[in-house]
C-alpha cells in the first residue's frame, strides 16, 4: 500500500511542477491583450517580469530552508496554495501596480516548488529509486512548458484572457485539497518524521565546501536554460526565417524531449545503482554523457536549415534533462534529510541571480555580433560544469 501511495504522491508532484511552469507562462501568452486593455508599456512589462524573478530567486533559498524545517507535505502544499492565489489574482487585476504586486506573489510561491519537490522525493524514495522519482517530479515542468501556449491561447480565445489565469488557479487549489488529504505520517513512519527537525544549522551548510560546488555549477549553467527559453524563438524568427506559426508548430518538441530525458536520465542512474554500480559513478556517468551531448550546441549556429537547428536544440535540451535530474538527485544523496531543500534552494537562487545579471549582456552580444558566441558558450558550459564537479566533488556520499 505504501508503494502505491508513494507513486500517487509522485504523480501529484509531477502535476505541481507542471502547474508551476504553466502558471508562470500564462502572462507571456496574454500580455498583448493586457497591454491593450490597461495601456501597460514594454518598460512596465519588464518591471513586472523583474518583480517575479526577484521574489522567485529569494524564495528558492528561503523556501528551501522553510521546507527543510516543516517537511515536504506542508512546504510544497503551502507553495502551491500561494502561487495559485497569486495566479487567481492575476485574473482579477485592474492596473499595473496590482499586476506587479501579484507577479511578486507568484514568484514568492513558485520559488518553493522545486526545493519542495526534492524534499518530497527524498521522503518517499530511497537511493535506488530516487533518480527516476526526481526525473518524474522535474519532468512535470517540461510538460507544463509544452502545454502552456496552446492551452492558454485556447482558453483566452474562448473565455477571455482572465479565464486563462483563473482556471489553472482553481486547478491548483483543488490540487492542494487532494495533497493535504494524503495520510502522510501513516506511510512514511517515524524515521522520516525526523526530517522536519533539521539539526544542521544554516551557517554550517554555508560553510560546507560541497554546497559551493553545486551553487557555482548552477550559477554557470542556469543562464543557458534561460537563454533557450527566452531568446530562441526570437533567434528562429530573425536568423532562421521561421514564421510565428511555424515556431509554434515546432518549438514544443525540444521541451517534450526535456521532459522525457528528465525521467529517462533518472531511470538510467537508478538502474546502474540497482546493478551494483556506486551512487558516485552512476550519477557522474549520466552527467558526463549529458555534458558530452551538449557539445552539439555550437553547430546550431552553422547548420543550413531550421529543421537541423531544431533537431540540435532538441538534443541540447534532452542532455539538460539528463544533467539536471542527476544534479538534483546528487544533492539529496549528499545532503540527505537535513539540508536537501536548503541546498536545492540556494543553488536555484544562484541560477536565477546569474540569469538576471547575464540576460542584459545577451542582448548586447546579439546586437553587436550575433547569436554564434552564445551557442558556442552554451556548448562549453556543461563540460566546464562537469569538470568542476569531478575536481571539487570527488565522491558523492552522504554527509548528514
Query: Can you tell me the mean pLDDT for 43-49?
Result: 82
Q: Which three cell numbers stand for residue 24?
A: 508562470
Residues 6+ apart with CB under 8 A from 225: 320
Q: Which three cell numbers stand for residue 71?
A: 517537511
- At 359, give phi and psi (nearest 5°): -55, -45
pLDDT of res. 359: 73
Residue carrying the nine cell digits 542584459: 360
Residues 6+ apart with CB under 8 A from 259: 139, 140, 141, 142, 143, 146, 321
H or E stretch at 61: helix 42-70
Q: How far, in Å, CA of 79 to CA of 259, rounded?
A: 22
Exposed/middle/buried for 249, CB within 10 Å: 0-12, 13-18, 19+? Answer: exposed
Q: For residues 284, 376, 319 and 65, what is the CA-based torsion angle, rounded to 10 degrees?
A: 70
pLDDT of res. 186: 67
In this prediction the pTM is: 0.82
Residues 6+ apart with CB under 8 A from 108: 55, 56, 58, 59, 82, 83, 86
Q: How far is CA 376 from CA 116, 150, 176, 320, 359, in A?
A: 34, 31, 43, 16, 16
pLDDT of res. 44: 85
pLDDT in tens, 124-166: 888 888 899 999 998 898 888 888 878 888 898 899 999 999 9
Query: Can you tell me the mean pLDDT for 101-114?
Result: 93
Q: For residues 300, 305, 306 and 311, what is the CA-based torsion angle, rounded to 10 degrees?
A: -60
- Taking the CB of residue 280, how many other CB atoms lie within 10 A of it? 16
Residue carrying the nine cell digits 512514511: 188
Where residue 243 falls (left for φ over 0; alpha for ψ -120 to 50; beta otherwise) is beta
pLDDT of res. 188: 65
Most confident of 121-125, 248-252, 293-297: 293-297
pLDDT of res. 77: 95
**Apex 240 CA angle, 236 and 245, nearest 5:** 55
- Whether 193 shows a pLDDT value over 50: the answer reads no
Exposed/middle/buried for 369, CB within 10 Å: 0-12, 13-18, 19+? Answer: exposed
Q: For residues 347, 351, 354 and 355, what is the CA-based torsion angle, rounded to 10 degrees?
A: -170
Amino acid at each position: 500500500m505504501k508503494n502505491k501511495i508513494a507513486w500517487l504522491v509522485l504523480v501529484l508532484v509531477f502535476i505541481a511542477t507542471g502547474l508551476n511552469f504553466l502558471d508562470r507562462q500564462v502572462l507571456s501568452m496574454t500580455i498583448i491583450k493586457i497591454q491593450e486593455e490597461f495601456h501597460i508599456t514594454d518598460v512596465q512589462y519588464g518591471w513586472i517580469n523583474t518583480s517575479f524573478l526577484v521574489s522567485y530567486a529569494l524564495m528558492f533559498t528561503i523556501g528551501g530552508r522553510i521546507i527543510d524545517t516543516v517537511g515536504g507535505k506542508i512546504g510544497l502544499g503551502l507553495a502551491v496554495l500561494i502561487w495559485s492565489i497569486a495566479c487567481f489574482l492575476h485574473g482579477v487585476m485592474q492596473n499595473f501596480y496590482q499586476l506587479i504586486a501579484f507577479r511578486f506573489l507568484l514568484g514568492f510561491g513558485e520559488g518553493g516548488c522545486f526545493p519542495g519537490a526534492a524534499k518530497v522525493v527524498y521522503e518517499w524514495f530511497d537511493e535506488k529509486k530516487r533518480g527516476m522519482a526526481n526525473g518524474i517530479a522535474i519532468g512535470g515542468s517540461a510538460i507544463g512548458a509544452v502545454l502552456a501556449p496552446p492551452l492558454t491561447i485556447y482558453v483566452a480565445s474562448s473565455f477571455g484572457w482572465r479565464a486563462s489565469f483563473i482556471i489553472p488557479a482553481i486547478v491548483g487549489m483543488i490540487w492542494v485539497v487532494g495533497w493535504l488529504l494524503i495520510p502522510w505520517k501513516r506511510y512514511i513512519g517515524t524515521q522520516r518524521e525526523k526530517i522536519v527537525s533539521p539539526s544542521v544549522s544554516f551557517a554550517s551548510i554555508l560553510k560546507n565546501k560541497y554546497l559551493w560546488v553545486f551553487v557555482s555549477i548552477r550559477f554557470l549553467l542556469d543562464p543557458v536554460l534561460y537563454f533557450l527559453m527566452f531568446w530562441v524563438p526570437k533567434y528562429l524568427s530573425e536568423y532562421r526565417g521561421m514564421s510565428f506559426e511555424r515556431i509554434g508548430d515546432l518549438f514544443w518538441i525540444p521541451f517534450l524531449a526535456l521532459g522525457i530525458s528528465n525521467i529517462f536520465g533518472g531511470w538510467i542512474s537508478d538502474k546502474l545503482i540497482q546493478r551494483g554500480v556506486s551512487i558516485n559513478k552512476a550519477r557522474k556517468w549520466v552527467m558526463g554523457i549529458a555534458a558530452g551531448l551538449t557539445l552539439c550546441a555550437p553547430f546550431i549556429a552553422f547548420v543550413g536549415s531550421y529543421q537541423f537547428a531544431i533537431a540540435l536544440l532538441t538534443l541540447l535540451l534532452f542532455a539538460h534533462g539528463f544533467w539536471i535530474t542527476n544534479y538534483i538527485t546528487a544533492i539529496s544523496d549528499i545532503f540527505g534529510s537535513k539540508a536537501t531543500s536548503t541546498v536545492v534552494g540556494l543553488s536555484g537562487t544562484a541560477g536565477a541571480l546569474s540569469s538576471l545579471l547575464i540576460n542584459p549582456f545577451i542582448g548586447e552580444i546579439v546586437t553587436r555580433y550575433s547569436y554564434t558566441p552564445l551557442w558556442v558558450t552554451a556548448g562549453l558550459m556543461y563540460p566546464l560544469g562537469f569538470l568542476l564537479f569531478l575536481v571539487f566533488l570527488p565522491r558523492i556520499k552522504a554527509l548528514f
